[in-house]
Structure 1
């Protein structure tokens, strides 16, 4: 089995199209098809179901995809490790992040990383914490900043970075705006909520807190971005429970503290593969994050409580 066969297979699986995958790989479509056929012959199983419009993975293809991604990630890590020993950090840093994670100034961190390591290509994508955890475990991301998830033994570890209380945002004309005391979930039982997709950290925290309090809530307006959430609350279409630093993003909204319990802390973590599988770029980024002076205390930059990052 050749590495290029696995590279070709993963590209087709990602694009679900032979022509687009061939263009991305800068190979001929006939050469790409021949590579996939050779892999299928070796494995004695079809890997794709081909139609005129797209290709989809067979059961055998799905089984191979995770292993192929891990193998390719390990090969990249090997090349980068050798370069690092020679004193040059090269390759790619693939980073995932939730939007507006608490306590980690992602843009500032990446800018500092680029100044130190200009030969490393930076790639970044945003998604929910569960999806980011799967991407790191599969080797598609070097690391991710996300809400805490359950570590996965041999494939995923979680390094605590910071924690931050949750707060309620509402329109200044809303009935809660003049509430003088701490709010509890029961005080919000009859409200209409604006919230993120269930995989996002703030939604996970809020769902857990309300479930623990035995309070049902209605999420009528579900969004995929922070500004969309703030716009809807600004139009008095609902209230939102969000990490405390969100209150600085829209001065026109009223921020009300939520009573602190074990269930209403937004905890930011770095999701990484096991130490032996961490790429040199990931280790360098974590080392930079640990150097708080270079970034103005990243663990507390947005009002969170910093925690030691430890070694990558």
Structure 2
């Protein structure tokens, strides 16, 4: 049993899904399955109950899950301690991000925690579209960009996956689709859509999904703000497609008009991904300051906080 196996195990345990975990780890699914099998053989029993759609932890897996998170956190703390000794007293951290990271990552809180740990590091933040951010990473103007991963992955860039989840339909509470399940994309082609602008990664993913299915749809509202997108759907003016966590956060918000959620059939469900993209390979940035920030961001307590944040 080694740290890499524990990282693989924790990813599957948190995602409850091998495919999503493999995307998050940038690891082929067969390699991830082999790593988990080797860990189970080493520990003498199964850690997961596998089904066609999801996986669940066995009692032994539940015990290992907590211990594995503690071990990985201790390892990251040790690396950060050594990094401080090796010269993070001064320097710069330049972060780029797409709009609407919450509820996946609370970037302001994460940067605040980093500043508390490394007070001598100057921090810069830029919000932009995915393509522009990737170009800035490649040119060295940004250390880390939080955006959709580039496919196929360029040889000069590395990434770490932070979110991989299905998208759902959001509509008004009285809409005929409210609460529906297993919808096909073809069921939506006669609806009016509220969309983000074409340079948003979410919009490109939706456009690509409909194009791959040979379908056309109508965009009646085009905005540059996720809350506005959801408010238009809440008023019954259109439907929209957003990541499941974003929809759930809006559904819990009682300050505006209520929304309803409808789910797509697994075969048609676009998978929205969020990754940290940087110069480097094999999941490691080239610069110590970028490595320190990503290690801090992946601490269990930070991940838990980000998962509970609501969309802005």
The verdict on a shared fold, with TM-score over 0.5 as the criterion, is yes
CA distance in structure 2 between the aligned counterparts of 1:176 and 1:263, rounded to whole angstroms = 16
Say whether the 8 Å CA contact 2:185–2:268 is kept in structure 1.
no
Say whether the 8 Å CA contact 1:195–1:223 is kept in structure 2.
yes
Say whether the 8 Å CA contact 1:105–1:301 is kept in structure 2.
no
- Distance of aligned partners of 1:180 and 1:231 in 2 relative to their CA distance in 1, 3 Å threshold: closer
CA distance in structure 2 between the aligned counterparts of 1:204 and 1:194, rounded to whole angstroms = 14
CA distance in structure 1 between the aligned counterparts of 2:139 and 2:228, rounded to whole angstroms = 31
Matches within 5 A, 1:188-199: 188-199=188-199
TM, length-normalised to structure 2 = 0.63
- How far residue 279 of structure 1 moved from its aligned partner, in angstroms, is 2.7
Matches within 5 A, 1:134-283: 134-150=135-151, 151-154=153-156, 156-177=157-178, 179-247=179-247, 248-250=249-251, 251=253, 252-261=258-267, 264-275=270-281, 278-283=286-291
Secondary structure in 1 aligned to 2:177?
helix
- Distance of aligned partners of 1:165 and 1:298 in 2 relative to their CA distance in 1, 3 Å threshold: farther
Give the match for residue 77 of structure 2: none
Question: Please, which runs of 5 or more residues in structure 1 have no aligned partner?
Answer: 1-82, 304-312
**Structure 1 vs Structure 2 CA RMSD:** 2.5
- How far residue 292 of structure 1 moved from its aligned partner, in angstroms, is 1.9
- Distance of aligned partners of 1:205 and 1:298 in 2 relative to their CA distance in 1, 3 Å threshold: farther
- How far residue 298 of structure 1 moved from its aligned partner, in angstroms, is 6.3
Matches within 5 A, 1:54-73: none
Secondary structure in 2 aligned to 1:193?
strand
Secondary structure in 1 aligned to 2:163?
strand
- Distance of aligned partners of 1:236 and 1:180 in 2 relative to their CA distance in 1, 3 Å threshold: closer
Say whether the 8 Å CA contact 1:193–1:240 is kept in structure 2.
yes
Report how many aligned residue pairs link the two structures. 218
- How far residue 216 of structure 1 moved from its aligned partner, in angstroms, is 0.6
CA distance in structure 2 between the aligned counterparts of 1:139 and 1:170, rounded to whole angstroms = 41
- Distance of aligned partners of 1:302 and 1:149 in 2 relative to their CA distance in 1, 3 Å threshold: farther
